[in-house]
């Protein structure tokens, strides 16, 4: 499980060093893709394969499903971290997420998100009040 908030820096080659506590989870490889909040979402390779399998069960006759799958899979990149735990964030994903030098890496359970530092601060500031005010079911049947 990926937890916590970390602040590595993007180097001149477009790489970040994964937080040490995340490296074991990505040792066998990872998949990066566009997140839905202008971030990069990172899955362990096996978790992405399972996610893709579930997605491929959806009906492709639905235009929203086709659009979602196209954007997800066409913008996905796979990689294996190097021995220092570094991964290169592909330019299309860096542009999509507006990443420059200062980034935030956020654990999100089975995935990790990479955000522009100022975008994350703004997002979190907007969400924290709503989080503390939640009084109804957020995830039906679970929470």
- Span 7-23, pLDDT tens digits: 999 999 999 999 999 99
Q: Is residue 12 part of a domain?
A: yes
Contact 28, 45 (CB under 8 A): yes
- Span 71-130, pLDDT tens digits: 999 999 999 999 999 999 999 999 999 999 999 999 999 999 999 999 999 999 988 877
* Mean per-residue pLDDT of the chain: 92
- Rounded to two decimals, what is the model's pTM? 0.89
Q: Is 54 left (phi over 0), alpha (psi -120 to 50) or beta?
A: alpha
Does residue 46 or residue 59 have the better pLDDT? 46
Contact 107, 2 (CB under 8 A): yes
Q: Is residue 143 part of a domain?
A: no
Q: Is residue 84 part of a domain?
A: yes
- End-to-end CA distance of the chain: give it in Å, rounded: 19
Q: Is residue 17 part of a domain?
A: yes
Count: domains in the chain: 1
| 141 pLDDT above the threshold of 70 | no
What's the CATH number where 115 sits?
3.40.1550.20
Question: How many CB atoms are located within 10 Å of the residue 107 CB?
Answer: 18
Q: Is residue 140 part of a domain?
A: no
What is the domain range of residue 29?
5-133
**Tokens (6 digits) for 2:** 């990926």
């Amino acid at each position: 499980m990926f937890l916590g908030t970390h602040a590595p820096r993007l180097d001149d080659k477009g790489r970040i060093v994964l937080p040490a506590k995340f490296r074991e989870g990505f040792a066998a490889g990872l998949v990066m893709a566009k997140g839905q909040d202008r971030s990069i979402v990172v899955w362990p390779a096996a978790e992405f394969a399972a996610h893709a399998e579930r997605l491929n069960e959806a009906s492709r006759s639905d235009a929203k499903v086709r659009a979602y799958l196209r954007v997800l899979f066409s913008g996905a990149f796979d990689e294996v971290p190097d021995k220092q735990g570094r991964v290169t964030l592909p330019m299309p994903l860096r542009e999509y997420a507006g990443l420059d030098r200062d980034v935030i890496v956020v654990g999100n359970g089975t995935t990790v998100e990479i955000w522009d530092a100022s975008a994350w601060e703004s997002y979190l500031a907007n969400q924290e009040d709503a989080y503390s005010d939640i009084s109804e079911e957020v995830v039906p049947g679970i929470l």
